[in-house]
Structure 1
């Protein structure tokens, strides 16, 4: 890749004295460092690209999913029993009072994360209505709690 150094003897009968260390400048660009840097950047982007995807964590009842990481604050949990009774932590709350109590709780908390536990027998419409109340109450980060260790979706049913 390097350019050769040429020296002209000058052909005129007079001998030119050669200077030591003087040669013509190399006129080619050495691209080897550029290729090395590009290969390193390519590897970094190949490793980092899968980590940059954003997903929506959704957990369904009876899955083999991992648990969510713990927080500094005690997690707030809403529970819907099979009978349709809604509870904040362990206190039963009438559905018409749910939004007002959630707004009061949201004003005191730093985190807007809340966990929703619903019995498998509760109709989907009831769960969605409570999720809407949670959203109107100031909680936008809703985690659905499941029974970890149940059958996975791809497992054959017995």
Structure 2
């Protein structure tokens, strides 16, 4: 009986330590795979529009100025700007364009104008069938 009790005293203990070697091996293999494959990945190229000087200014230009408080002013060929409500913008632009649908319409917004105001003007003109609508930009350094 003494021999039986001695056997019960030598139990196996569970291992409390985690073996890190397989984990490190997997990480090193992944690191090597990413290092080799990174130069082979092509980056996506986005073709952004650029602002440049036009060859020739158009003869007839309609400009819609959007002020910081949301008021709209219509200006034709550099003349004095006249206040116009949003509801009447499309009708006034169409009247100024007359038969020439190719007359460009330029929207110039103040720096403090909400983007929503510009989009509302563009949407109104688009729904009225105005073809050539652009945004005015300030030429300067690209900092």
State whether residues 62 and 103 of structure 2, in contact with CA within 8 Å, keep that contact through their aligned partners in structure 1. no
Q: Which has the bigger relative contact order, CA under 8 A and spacing at least 6?
A: 1
State whether residues 112 and 139 of structure 1, in contact with CA within 8 Å, keep that contact through their aligned partners in structure 2. no
2:52 to 66, 70, 73: 66
TM-score by length of 2: 0.54
The answer as to 2:89 corresponding to 1:98 is yes
State whether residues 114 and 142 of structure 1, in contact with CA within 8 Å, keep that contact through their aligned partners in structure 2. yes
Q: Aligned ranges for residues 1-158 of structure 1 at < 5 Å?
A: 57=49, 65-89=51-75, 90-150=81-141, 152=142, 155=143
Bigger CA drift: 77-86 or 137-146? 137-146
Number of residue pairs matched?
Answer: 92
Q: CA deviation at 1:103?
A: 2.2
Q: CA RMSD in A?
A: 2.3
Query: Greater helix share, 1 or 2?
Result: 2
Query: SS in structure 1 opposite 2:64?
Result: strand
State whether residues 76 and 88 of structure 1, in contact with CA within 8 Å, keep that contact through their aligned partners in structure 2. yes
2:71 & 2:108 partners in 1: Cα distance?
12
